[in-house]
Amino acid sequence: VLLALPDVPLPAEPALTRAKVALAARLGDSKVDTSREGCERFMNDESEATGRLPAAVVHAASAEDVRACLAIAHDLGVPVTPRAAGTGRSGGAVPVAGGVVLATSALADVKELNRDDLLAVVGPGVVTGDLHAACEAEGLFYPPDPNSWKSCMIGGNVAENAGGPRAFKYGVTREYVLGVEACLMGGEVLRPGRRTVKGVTGYDVTALLVGSEGTLAVFTEVTLRLVRKPPAVFTLLALFDDAAAAARCVSALVRDGHVPRCLELMDRETLVALRASGAPVDPRAGALLLCEVDGHPAAAEEAFERAGEALSSAPGVLEVQVAQDAASRDRLWAARRALSGATRKLAKYKLSEDVVVPRSRLEELLVATRALGDRHGVRNLTYGHAGDGNMHVNFLWDTPEERPAVARAIEDLMRATVALGGTLSGEHGVGVAKAPYLALEQSSGLIRLQRDLKAVFDPRGLLNPGKIFPAPPHRAC
Amino acid sequence: VLLALPDVPLPAEPALTRAKVALAARLGDSKVDTSREGCERFMNDESEATGRLPAAVVHAASAEDVRACLAIAHDLGVPVTPRAAGTGRSGGAVPVAGGVVLATSALADVKELNRDDLLAVVGPGVVTGDLHAACEAEGLFYPPDPNSWKSCMIGGNVAENAGGPRAFKYGVTREYVLGVEACLMGGEVLRPGRRTVKGVTGYDVTALLVGSEGTLAVFTEVTLRLVRKPPAVFTLLALFDDAAAAARCVSALVRDGHVPRCLELMDRETLVALRASGAPVDPRAGALLLCEVDGHPAAAEEAFERAGEALSSAPGVLEVQVAQDAASRDRLWAARRALSGATRKLAKYKLSEDVVVPRSRLEELLVATRALGDRHGVRNLTYGHAGDGNMHVNFLWDTPEERPAVARAIEDLMRATVALGGTLSGEHGVGVAKAPYLALEQSSGLIRLQRDLKAVFDPRGLLNPGKIFPAPPHRAC
């Protein structure tokens, strides 16, 4: 076990047996997998955490299946862990209490793509990249682009409030969710939100559900705001002496009013990893910035030229490369897209944090990260969404004996981030992985309030227990 | 009484007496106004509603004053109505249960204006227009611009999730609130949110507080995201035959990917009102569109030229006027800014709704509004943020006998809006004025859930009771 699971109440065996019978009777055997192999496949996501073996995996084929599952499980006191693609990095989709895994990946319809109202209505199982493609075929654009866009799904993106490189200009998933259809533990269906861009009737329940990590409700439909596809895109790649110089350039670009859609930084160790995996990265470079601008042709070209001038004259810059067509853009992005795989090859174990600091503190974060890696003797490499101050700090190790040092390095990173005025997670969520650190950032009063909000949606603590904060005790049935 | 107050529990006289004594002892007499004149001045806001006479108005001079007031009132079971500028249009700041009015207008410090991190930290009493000026002096920009920007305050803007013309490009207040310091009924201080643009630790409590109309907590500090001041602005004014032609032009602009910062429409009756107040509006015009683009000079100029071509060739257009400098821009805007005053002169009573429909349904909304006005014999004029589908429908009448017909017209407008896929309020909030219509848009389950969320923050229902939904009973002390 790489990551200890929280101590959550486990369902009683008789309740699990009754749940399996009731679910199969209601949904049909084909949607309720109780086989050991079938259940084992749903114990993990893309985090370090391994859950407890669920008693059943429900493969919902409709919103009604979701409703029925949540009603039956609630009645029998059985915990439910919702899941879309399972690509999350904080353990949000890991069944820490066993129970039932509720997979919504088959709710994969793009029900509406509306060019006049600039919105899409989709099921939670729509793959983000498929939505990108469907939108762009219509001249529309869905900006959030988590690195796993080829496999992650909208339901998970909304549950985790996913980001991605384009967030620098376009914001994160939260900015695109107009409304949801969501099912509460117990089976009640709610439709907070709307189809309009503005709207202030009542509390923003939609915003409360976005990023709630599957602990408040299960999405069965999402209404997303779209924008027009930007007709022109230009990509620049700048090589720097070192990460500090690149970070200072990022801060200067932000300060001077540049709004590229992406502003990505890779540090020296990241470039080492890239070269090791065969990417042709200039050996002189100690850091790299990827800068992409978009918009209407003349506007984007002007922004591109301004960005090019700023990059070319930045202290510590070695070279600026330009991509004006899709093929050369893909070449520049290939290195960024390959990073997660490339770093995996460097060591047996990898853990990716996603801390955020105010933009002006980026250089300090990079310095602090380097220092704490040295202090604890833990290899690390850092890359990510520098324009937003959101960096992926990857810790690498090869033997279980090194894990305690990694834990100390992570805690130091969290403390350094909070000391810089930052936050523990910009994209991945708290889940299981960051729950031990939540109190470093948030007061006990704020955490208690959030537990009380959770209890409004899920009084018995049966929906995705053990996530964000330790689950309150639930009554066994 | 123009608008009946909801039936909320009233505090007992002895509790009020004890509260006045305790508040004066704690805060000093100068901050606790119990005079009849002093209290009467706080019975209204810019809505039709008149509250019950409060027993005291607390003029908080610090976050600690707010905390002390909320602790004392809670202990004694006395309701509190928070208030910043009192410019709201739905009765949010009206003390429907009497009790104590808690004014935060003196917490008016701009504590930080950070050019590197693009953020401001302000007190709730900062006037929105003063923040605009402070930002723009530093080359920064705070986009939300409710029409009352010269007098409204950030605390109220956040409580109501205020919008304004520039929301079409820049979004509403919600998009700019990174974090708040907020005090709960009882005196607990929470600091949800952060100083970074990204962040997903825990639930989005900040988003839940934005637009909660002072029913969940009282803001004592707000951290706002800023953007760079756009260096170039161009304004266009297009005259149309009628509102339907103007509405079709708006839908076409949105469909064709134009993103002006403002896209405002005024209908025929609005232009009549403007002419009556002396504004030089071309007598041929039956509707008017105000379109403003901004950005970097070359980009904004390109957008301006594209918008000008689209407006000039729109069916039903009569003339397009252009403003390229600040003075001529101010002239074009003068009519828009004068509207609220101009319409007030037309009749003894005026009530402004702010419904929103999906952008493609704008023409249908205008047609429906005209029809229901005729059906009920109620004069009305419509103008507003057409690019967002958010229209201010103003009903006008002169005698109390006409009020029932106005009420029927409003209910028809709400029903028509919901039938078009819209929402009751885009900017003003529910408050007292729209509470009777909430169930037209939201299910009983969603309303119950929101009541339960309210109870987490304020179990005794003492903070701003009678707003959004009828207040749950609170125990008298």
- Asked if A35 reaches chain B (Cβ–Cβ under 8 Å), the answer is no
Q: pLDDT tens for residues A36-79?
A: 999 999 999 999 899 999 999 999 999 999 999 999 999 999 99
CA distance A95 to A8: 11
Structure tokens at A457: 């949606």
The average pLDDT across B455-468 equals 97
The average pLDDT across A363-374 equals 96
Alpha helices by DSSP H, listed for B77-215, are 128-137, 154-160, 167-170, 205-209
pLDDT at A210 over 80: yes
At B393 the three-state DSSP class reads strand
Structure tokens at A51: 């859950």
- Asked if B232 reaches chain A (Cβ–Cβ under 8 Å), the answer is no
- Asked if B259 reaches chain A (Cβ–Cβ under 8 Å), the answer is yes
How much is the mean pLDDT over chain B? 94
Distance from CA of A469 to the nearest CA of B (A): 8
* Candidate from B199, B207, B428 with C-beta closest to A356: B199
Stronger pLDDT, A278 or B470, i.e. the higher one: A278
* Strand arrangement, sheet containing B56-59: B32-33, B56-59, B100-103, B80-83
Distance from CA of B289 to the nearest CA of A (A): 19
Q: Which residues on B lie below 8 Å from A196 (Cβ)?
A: 356-358, 388-390, 421-423, 426
pLDDT class of A341 with cuts at 50, 70, 90 = confident
* Candidate from B198, B210, B445 with C-beta closest to A190: B445
At A346 the three-state DSSP class reads coil
Count of CB atoms situated within 10 Å of the CB of A175? 16
Q: Are A200 and B156 in contact (CB under 8 A)?
A: no
At B75 the three-state DSSP class reads helix
- Asked if A204 reaches chain B (Cβ–Cβ under 8 Å), the answer is yes
Q: Which residues on A lie below 8 Å from B191 (Cβ)?
A: 443, 446
So what's the pLDDT on residue B328? Answer: 81
pLDDT at A477 over 80: no
Residue of chain A whose Cα is closest to the Cα of B294: A299
So what's the pLDDT on residue A476? Answer: 39
pLDDT class of A346 with cuts at 50, 70, 90 = confident
Q: Which residues on A lie below 8 Å from B446 (Cβ)?
A: 190-192, 202, 205
- Asked if A202 reaches chain B (Cβ–Cβ under 8 Å), the answer is yes
Q: Are A235 and A326 in contact (CB under 8 A)?
A: no
Q: Are A187 and A199 in contact (CB under 8 A)?
A: no
At B12 the three-state DSSP class reads coil
So what's the pLDDT on residue A277? Answer: 82
Backbone angles phi and psi of B91, in degrees to 5: 85, 15
* Candidate from A195, A216, A423 with C-beta closest to B201: A423
Q: pLDDT tens for residues A125-168?
A: 999 999 999 999 999 999 999 999 999 999 999 999 999 999 99
pLDDT class of A187 with cuts at 50, 70, 90 = very high
At B99 the three-state DSSP class reads coil
Q: pLDDT tens for residues A259-302?
A: 999 999 999 999 998 888 888 889 999 999 999 999 988 889 99
Q: Which residues on B lie below 8 Å from A385 (Cβ)?
A: 198
DSSP 8-state assignment for residue B27 = H
So what's the pLDDT on residue B470? Answer: 62
Distance from CA of B1 to the nearest CA of A (A): 24
Q: How many residues does chain B have?
A: 477
* Candidate from A212, A257, A421 with C-beta closest to B195: A421
Q: What ipTM does the predicted assembly reach?
A: 0.96
* Strand arrangement, sheet containing A56-59: A32-33, A56-59, A100-103, A80-83
Beta strands in B184-325 (DSSP E): 189-190, 218-225, 227-228, 232-240, 262-266, 287-295, 317-323
pLDDT class of A323 with cuts at 50, 70, 90 = confident
Burial of B298 (0-12, 13-18, 19+ CB in 10 A): middle
Q: pLDDT tens for residues A229-251?
A: 999 999 999 999 999 999 999 99
Q: Which residues on A lie below 8 Å from B430 (Cβ)?
A: 200-202
CA distance A222 to A174: 12
Structure tokens at A321: 């490369």
The amino acid present at B39, given as its one-letter code, is C
Q: Most B CBs within 10 Å: which of A198, A248, A414, A447, as the mutation test of the B interface? A: A198
* Candidate from B390, B438, B452 with C-beta closest to A198: B390
User: Residue written as tokens 């049909």?
Assistant: A28
Q: Most A CBs within 10 Å: which of B119, B169, B181, B201, as the mutation test of the A interface? A: B201
* Candidate from A175, A255, A430 with C-beta closest to B202: A430
Q: pLDDT tens for residues B41-78?
A: 999 999 989 999 999 999 999 999 999 999 999 999 99
Distance from CA of A274 to the nearest CA of B (A): 27
Judged by CB atoms closer than 8 Å, whether chains meet at B430 and A200 is answered as yes
So what's the pLDDT on residue B2? Answer: 63
Rg (CA), chain B: 23
Q: Which of A299-303, A337-341, A467-471 has the highest mean pLDDT?
A: A299-303
Structure tokens at B270: 């609005």
So what's the pLDDT on residue A71? Answer: 98
- Contacts of residues A399-402 at CB distance under 8 Å and 24 or more positions apart, as own/partner, are A399/A348, A402/A349, A402/A378
**Smallest Cα–Cα separation from B41: which of B89, B93, B112?**
B93
Structure tokens at B420: 């078009």
Q: Which residues on B lie below 8 Å from A357 (Cβ)?
A: 196
- Asked if A203 reaches chain B (Cβ–Cβ under 8 Å), the answer is yes
Q: pLDDT tens for residues B399-424?
A: 999 999 999 999 999 999 999 999 99
- Asked if B174 reaches chain A (Cβ–Cβ under 8 Å), the answer is yes
**Smallest Cα–Cα separation from B477: which of B5, B22, B7?**
B22
Stronger pLDDT, B344 or B421, i.e. the higher one: B421
CA distance A242 to B259: 38
The amino acid present at B126, given as its one-letter code, is V
So what's the pLDDT on residue B474? Answer: 41
pLDDT class of A470 with cuts at 50, 70, 90 = low
So what's the pLDDT on residue A2? Answer: 63
Judged by CB atoms closer than 8 Å, whether chains meet at A257 and B139 is answered as yes
Count of CB atoms situated within 10 Å of the CB of B311? 25
Q: Most A CBs within 10 Å: which of B197, B448, B464, as the mutation test of the A interface? A: B197
Distance from CA of B221 to the nearest CA of A (A): 16
- Asked if A278 reaches chain B (Cβ–Cβ under 8 Å), the answer is no
So what's the pLDDT on residue B165? Answer: 95
Q: pLDDT tens for residues B95-154?
A: 999 999 999 999 999 999 999 999 999 999 999 999 999 999 999 999 999 999 999 999
CA distance B136 to A437: 39
pLDDT at A472 over 80: no
Ranges A333-337, B130-134, B430-434: which has the least confidence? A333-337
* Candidate from A190, A295, A453 with C-beta closest to B443: A190
pLDDT at A422 over 80: yes
pLDDT class of A370 with cuts at 50, 70, 90 = very high
Distance from CA of B389 to the nearest CA of A (A): 8
Q: pLDDT tens for residues A158-170?
A: 999 999 999 999 9
- Asked if B395 reaches chain A (Cβ–Cβ under 8 Å), the answer is no
- Asked if A262 reaches chain B (Cβ–Cβ under 8 Å), the answer is no
Residues 6+ apart with CB under 8 A from A234: A292, A293, A294, A300, A301, A303, A304, A322, A323, A324
DSSP 8-state assignment for residue A406 = H
Judged by CB atoms closer than 8 Å, whether chains meet at A190 and B254 is answered as no
Distance from CA of A36 to the nearest CA of B (A): 33
The average pLDDT across A4-21 equals 94
- Asked if B448 reaches chain A (Cβ–Cβ under 8 Å), the answer is no
Distance from CA of A100 to the nearest CA of B (A): 24
Residues 6+ apart with CB under 8 A from B282: B239, B318, B319
Q: Which residues on B lie below 8 Å from A197 (Cβ)?
A: 356, 359, 388-389
Judged by CB atoms closer than 8 Å, whether chains meet at A117 and B360 is answered as yes
So what's the pLDDT on residue B472? Answer: 46
Backbone angles phi and psi of B58, in degrees to 5: -95, 120
Q: pLDDT tens for residues B362-386?
A: 999 999 999 999 999 999 999 999 9
pLDDT class of B1 with cuts at 50, 70, 90 = very low
The average pLDDT across A308-315 equals 97
The average pLDDT across A336-344 equals 80
Sign of the CA dihedral with B83 first, then B85, B90, and B96 last: positive
